[in-house]
Amino acid sequence: MNKAKQRVLLGMSGGVDSSVAGYLLRQQGYEVIGVTMKVWPQDCISRAEDKCCGPQAIADARGVAHSLAIPHYVVDEADQFERLVIDYFSSEYQAGRTPNPCVMCNEKLKFGNLWRKAAALGCDYIATGHYAIIEHRADHAVLRKGLDLRKDQSYFLFSLRQPQLRRALTPLGKMTKARIREIAHSLGLKVADKVDSQEICFVPGNDYKEFLRSHLNEFHRGEIYDIAGNFLGEHDGIELFTIGQRKGLPGGSPRPRYVVDLDPATNRVIVGDADDLVTDEFEIDRVNWHAVLGVGDPGRSFECTAKIRYSHSGTRATVTALENERTHVRLHEPQRAVTPGQAAVFYDDDIVLGGGWICRGEPRGHSEAKGREALNQSATPALA
C-alpha cells in the first residue's frame, strides 16, 4: 500500500495522545487532516471550558495542527452528541442501568457520523489516539489490546462493526504512554504534559447525580426493599442508584447494605449484603461479534476471558450465543457487581472476539426498550 496516496482524517481532542498520533501518521507517509468535534451547545460553553472537545481543547488541537503543518477543522456535533450520547446516558439511568457513554461516542460519533466528514474530504481512514491495535488483513480487521495494558482501550471499541474497523487506524496501539510523552516533548508540543481526562467529559466534577438533576425533567421516586421483601424506606429517584452502591441507603442494619438490583417497572431499589452482589451467570444483548467464523451462531459455546467493566482485569468464562442478538455468559469464578448497562467484552488472549451490553435475565420489557430508544435513533452511517 502506498501510504503517500492515503488520506486520513484524525480526530484531535487537544490531548497529547491524538497530537502524537498525527505526528506518527505523517511519519508513516499518510496525508493527515485534523478534525475536532465541537460537542457542546453554546449555552454550555462555560461548563465545557476544560473538558474534552471544549473551547480549550479546540484551541490546543488547532495549535498542534499548526505545529505539525496539517490542516485543522472544527465540526459541530453538539446536536448529535446530545441525542446519541447524553440522551442515551440519561435514559439508561432511568431504566435502572449504568451506561458507558465512551463506547457510544466512539461507535456513533467518532467512527460513525464523522465518517461523513471524512468521505467529503476524500479520506480513506479515520484515525484516533486510542491505545488499541487494529490489524488490517485481506478480508477483515482484527481488534487487539494495546501494548500498554495499563492504558489499553480496546474495551471501548468493541462495538465497532467490521466496515468501521477496516477504515480505522490507531497508531498508538504498539506504544506506551511514557513513549508518547517523550515524543511530544521532543517535538516541543505544548500539550506534552497535559493531564489525561479521568472523567466523563460532559459530567462536571464526575458527579453524575448532579448532572441528571440538571438534565432530567423528573426523577422516578419509589421504595427500597431488602431481598427478603421487607420495606426499608422511600427514595427520591431510581436514577440516583447503581448496582453495588452503598451510600444513601437506610441505616439500622448490623452489616453494610448494598444495592443489588433495580426494578424500573416498579421503581424499586433492592438492597442486600455483599454476598448478594456476587453472580456467575448473566446475559448480554445487542451483541457485536468480530471476525471469528461461526462464533455468534445460536447454540455455539466457547471459552474466553470476559471483562465486565473497563476497570475489570478479566476472568475466564464460557459464552453461549442465543437468538435475537443475546448471549449467555457463565463465569468460571463468580464476580461482584455485574451491572446491567455496562459492556461485557470477550477476549482470546489479546484479541477482541466481541461483546455486548449486560442485561437482566428476563425478556426485555417496555422499560428496557425505552432505555434503548436513544441508541437506535439513527443507525451508524454505512461505509461502502
pLDDT attached to residue 54? 67
Q: What structural domains does the chain harbor?
A: 3-194+201-206 (3.40.50.620), 220-272 (2.30.30.280), 278-376 (2.40.30.10)
133 closest CA partner among 349, 358, 356, 379: 349
Contact 173, 131 (CB under 8 A): yes
Distance CA 170, CA 12 (A): 13
Contact 37, 75 (CB under 8 A): yes
What angle is formed at CA 328 by the lines to CA 327 and CA 334, rounded to 5 degrees?
140
Q: 214 or 118, which is more confident?
A: 118
- Whether residue 42 is predicted with pLDDT greater than 90 in this model: the reply is no
Each residue's pLDDT tens digit, 235-248: 999 999 999 999 88
Of the candidates 102, 105, 123, 359, the residue annotated as catalytic is 105
When pLDDT is cut at 50, 70 and 90, the band that residue 350 belongs to is very high
Rounded to two decimals, what is the model's pTM?
0.88
When pLDDT is cut at 50, 70 and 90, the band that residue 383 belongs to is very low
Q: For the ranges 56-70, 142-156, 162-176, 206-220, which has the lowest average pLDDT? A: 206-220
Of the candidates 102, 123, 201, 304, the residue annotated as catalytic is 201
Kindly provide the b/e burial profile for residues 90-126, where b requires at least 16 CB atoms within 10 angstroms of the residue's own CB.
bbbbbbbbbbbbbbbbbbbbbbbbbbebbbeeebbbb
**Catalytic: 304?**
no
**Catalytic: 52?**
no
When pLDDT is cut at 50, 70 and 90, the band that residue 384 belongs to is very low
pLDDT attached to residue 296? 74
Percentage of the chain exceeding pLDDT 70? 88
